[in-house]
């Protein structure tokens, strides 16, 4: 399970302060109810500052206050912080596996003079991409 996660709703997800997932790359297991449009950001990390859910008014986009996070069992949307951390570790592994498969296909093309990976990216090797 990942130990840190920062979610900028609709923008990106950062896992363990080092692995960046673009919002469009979050994959087929992601559920929108985990981070409804009333959440601006979720912060759970060991950096300076409060671990919190930053809430917003979905109709105006204006911030409405923060909810402090102190435990991974706390609810966030329809899941818990622990659920998001588990999902993040799984998705990170899926992306890394897909990137490795793509890199292998490119290397195979170079070694064999083929173009099987031409016009493709790691996304084409990710069965969990949404």
**Residue for token digits 């409405």?**
64
**Residue for token digits 């016009």?**
119
Question: What are the tens digits of pLDDT across the range 24-83?
Answer: 999 999 999 999 999 999 999 998 899 999 999 999 999 999 999 999 999 999 999 999
Long-range contacts of 7-11 (CB under 8 A, 24+ apart): 7/35, 7/39, 7/41, 7/42, 7/84, 8/40, 8/41, 9/35, 9/37, 9/39, 9/40, 9/41, 9/42
What pLDDT is recorded for position 113? 97
What pLDDT is recorded for position 130? 79
């Amino acid at each position: 399970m990942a130990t840190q996660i920062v979610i900028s709703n609709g923008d990106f997800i950062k896992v363990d302060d080092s692995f960046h997932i673009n919002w469009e790359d979050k994959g087929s297991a992601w559920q929108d109810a985990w981070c409804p449009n009333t959440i601006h950001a979720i912060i759970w990390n060991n950096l300076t500052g409060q671990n919190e859910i930053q809430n917003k008014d979905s109709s105006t986009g204006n911030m409405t206050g923060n909810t402090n996070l102190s435990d991974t069992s706390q609810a966030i949307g329809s899941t818990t912080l622990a659920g998001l951390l588990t999902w993040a570790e799984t998705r990170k592994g899926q992306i890394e596996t897909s990137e490795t498969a793509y890199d292998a296909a490119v290397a195979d093309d170079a070694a064999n003079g083929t173009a099987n990976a031409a016009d493709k990216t790691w996304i084409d090797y990710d069965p969990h991409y949404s």
